[in-house]
Amino acid sequence: MSIANFIPGQPILSWILAIICGMLILYFIRPSVHQLLDNLTTLIVQNLRLLSRSLSVSAKHMSERNKEVLLEHGKQQAERELERQFIRLGKLVEKDLSRYPTVQRDIEQNISAMEDKLTQTAVVPAPLPEWTEAVESISKLKDTTKNDAVVGKLLQAIYEAFHTQQKEVMDTYKKDISKRHNLLKSAMNHWRHLLEKLGNVESHWQHLNDQAKKIDLQVERFDNMVKATDKAERLLKSSNSTQFFISLVVMAIAGFGAFVNYNLIALPMSELMPATSQVAGYNVADIGAAVIIMLELTVGLFFMEAIGITRLFPVIHFMEDRKRMIWACVCMVFLLALCCVEAGLAYMRETMVADKALLTSFLVAGAESTQGSQIESSNIPMIGQMTLGFVLPLILMFVAIPFESFIHTGRHALGTVIIQLFILSSTLFRSVSLFLKQFTASLKNIYDIFCFAPLWLEQLIEQRPTSSKKNKLEPSNKEPKKLNQEVDEIATPELESNIDHDSDSSISTPIKQGA
Amino acid sequence: MKPLLLAIKLTLIIAMLGACTEQKPSTGLYMLLDTSGTYTKELKKAQQIIHYYLGTLGPGDSFAVARIDSGSFSEKDIVAKVTFDHRPSRANEQKRQFANTISQFIDSVKSSAYTDINGGLLLASEYLNETQANKKVVMVFSDMQEELPVGYKRDFNLALTNYEVIALNVTKLRSDNKDPKMYMERMSKWQQRVEESGGKWRVVNDLEREGSLAL
């Protein structure tokens, strides 16, 4: 029976009747529907908010833990750097101090040599003979007697003797002066030597000073980390991210290297291991090749640990130096053995490839064709493969350094990503809860539209006796306030607990009003 | 106590690995060569196909070649058979020997008066069952015209479940040219026999088509 036939022959009246009945039914069940909607919304919204809050708290805890990890890693690094600086400084001081007695002796020798030279230069040259003054006075006598040849000759002789004597004295004097100059010149070398020595000492002290400044900086950095300052955290974060990406790139390159290595030995491994067996769908020979590469990597890691480059295994790191060196030697022996095995496998691979090629040509063109191809074969690929087989494990050994960096920095990077995901999820849950609340309010309004006539009548009736009941309709005006509250809650999660009480009450209010 | 526990753990791990170890799926290929009448001229083509499969099959696979003559249900008709060693170098050597044996056979083969295809199929199924290969393929290089000597009965049921039977290079006889229906009936009869026995039937006449010989 259709709605149009409620009143036979009156479809319009039937429809009007049906609509009025529908409206009345909707009006009578309105409080229950509103309560149902409110209850459902409260259930979902509260759960979402609970989830959101727990995610926020988890993110906060993780952030704190991440910071601790970061600072701890930073402290470890700073300790290592400080340790290295102290070792360097200690060696420097030891080297300089061992050199100082020699330098001191050298300087003293130079000084005593210079003193000797100066003493030698202090010797006064012999004075001119005293009789020269007498001769000079005779030579100044006046020629009183003319043509006195004897006096003339005498004076001439005295004059010549005087000049000869003067010349000799002058020569002696010049020689002495020259000798003293030479002595002073030789003292110059001692001066230079002394200057050089003192210059060296100064540069050594300068170097020591620089090292001490570096240590000061390191200590300051370490101090910041111990105090967990924001500056130290910021610096560590940026350094951590850079290290993480660098190590990731290097490890990717190493991964390609390992792949090349794998392909080099996978085929010949089928000669050593049963090619017809499989584990989890993979050939045993292929798994064997992968295991060999992993063993090489492991031995490489142990070797790097033993020589003190990485610090992944405390057991190895805290071994006695002698034991650690023995361990390093053992690792190197194993690594070289594995290198030799790989080189042998590479040789075998080339032989197998050549054999396969021979078989193919034999099957395609007969026995005659195989003889020609044997002659044309070259040893270059085989040598190349053998070299690669020997060298690649040694190169892969160095992956321990980026691996260590990756492990240390990856923890923080992963933590950061998880924190961001938690925050994002928390925000999403809060947005969904907000949306649901608004959606429920809209649904209720839409519901009210379907029973507008009884509601209008109810309002008219309620308005007539007292005007004070107007206030009952006010909750609809409160909706924007609630929206603002929600926005505030998202913006300031710290104030959650206080706002939660308010918002819970805001949810319950319309329920009471609706009821 | 600790070393004992460690030993037990290691034993368990090894046992688990052993339990995980399984045999690689292997292929068993049995090729029947028709040596009746003028079909022996086609055997050079068969040799090329055998060489192709020698290049394709790997360690652990089985391969046998047998002739179809007047009474094919006999081990004497098996020309060569091999299960390839798990070591590739040894398998290559086996392939060379196999190819040489086939070459000698083809050079010295004599035509038979009759064609017993059913006997060959029965022998093939027995051989392939013994190999326990995961994939069993029987190839019949013949015109599929069966002619039995007097007194030979071939009305038995073949057990070809999970087998693939491939008819290769099915040449048309003179009588087929006169009445193609005969050819179609013949092929339909073989298809019905193979499929009733639980096998899959396939005909490959264009041997040069890429992928036609893929197993």
Contacts of B23 in chain A (CB under 8 A): 276-278
Q: Using CA atoms, how far apart are residues A514 and A503, in angstroms rounded to an integer?
A: 17
> Does the pLDDT of residue A474 top 60, yes or no?
no
Judge: A363–B51 Cβ closer than 8 Å, yes or no: yes
pLDDT of residue A512: 39
Q: What is the pLDDT of residues A203-223, one digit of tens each?
A: 888 888 888 888 888 888 888
Of the two residues A9 and B93, the one the predictor is more confident about is: B93
Whether B135 has its CB under 8 Å from any CB of chain A: the answer is no
Q: What is the pLDDT of residues A219-234, one digit of tens each?
A: 888 888 788 788 877 8
Query: A126-130, A398-402, B51-55: which range is least confident on average?
Result: A126-130
> Does the pLDDT of residue A145 top 70, yes or no?
no
- Mapping DSSP onto H, E and C, the string for A393-444 reads HHHHHHHHHHHHHHHHHHHHHHHHHHHHHHHHHHHHHHHHHHHHHHHHHHHH
Run of H or E including A63: helix A30-121
Rounded to a whole number of angstroms, the distance from the CA of A336 to the nearest CA of chain B is 27
Whether A64 has its CB under 8 Å from any CB of chain B: the answer is no
Q: Using CA atoms, how far apart are residues A461 and A455, in angstroms rounded to an integer?
A: 10
pLDDT-above-90 percentage for chain A: 31
Q: What is the pLDDT of residues B150-194, one digit of tens each?
A: 888 888 888 888 899 999 988 888 888 888 898 899 899 999 999
- For B166: left if phi > 0, alpha if psi spans -120 to 50, otherwise beta; the answer is beta
pLDDT of residue A499: 40
Output the CA angle A397-A398-A403, nearest 5 degrees.
100
> Does the pLDDT of residue A144 top 60, yes or no?
no
Whether A361 has its CB under 8 Å from any CB of chain B: the answer is no
Q: What is the pLDDT of residues A305-319, one digit of tens each?
A: 999 888 888 888 888
pLDDT of residue A376: 59
Of the two residues A378 and A509, the one the predictor is more confident about is: A378
Tokens linked to A249: 């790139």
b/e code B190-209 from CB counts within 10 Å (16+ = b): bbebbeebebebeebeeeee
Q: What is the pLDDT of residues A450-467, one digit of tens each?
A: 988 889 988 888 887 655
Tokens linked to B7: 């030993």
> Does the pLDDT of residue A188 top 90, yes or no?
no
Nearest Cα residue to A510 out of A488, A478, A469? A478
- Packing angle of the helix pair A11-28, A30-121 (nearest 10 deg): 60
| Nearest by CB: B89 against A278, A280, A352 | A352
> Does the pLDDT of residue A369 top 80, yes or no?
no
pLDDT of residue A136: 67
pLDDT of residue A503: 43
Is A199 strand, coil or helix?
helix
- Packing angle of the helix pair A452-463, A400-450 (nearest 10 deg): 70
Judge: B86–A359 Cβ closer than 8 Å, yes or no: no
Band of the pLDDT at A514, cuts 50, 70, 90? Answer: very low
User: Most distant CA pair in chain A: distance in Å?
Assistant: 195
Residues A176-199: what's their mean pLDDT? 86
Backbone angles phi, psi at A58, to 5 degrees: -60, -45
Q: Using CA atoms, how far apart are residues A432 and A484, in angstroms rounded to an integer?
A: 15
Query: A327-336, B36-45, B83-92, B194-203: which range is least confident on average?
Result: B36-45
pLDDT of residue A509: 39
Give all strands (DSSP E) within A251-371, no chain letters.
Answer: 277-279, 282-283
Q: How far separated are the first and last CA of chain A, in Å rounded?
A: 36
Question: Which residues 63-102 of B have a C-beta within 8 angstroms of A?
Answer: 86-89, 92, 95-96, 99
pLDDT of residue B111: 85
Query: CA gyration radius for chain A?
Result: 52
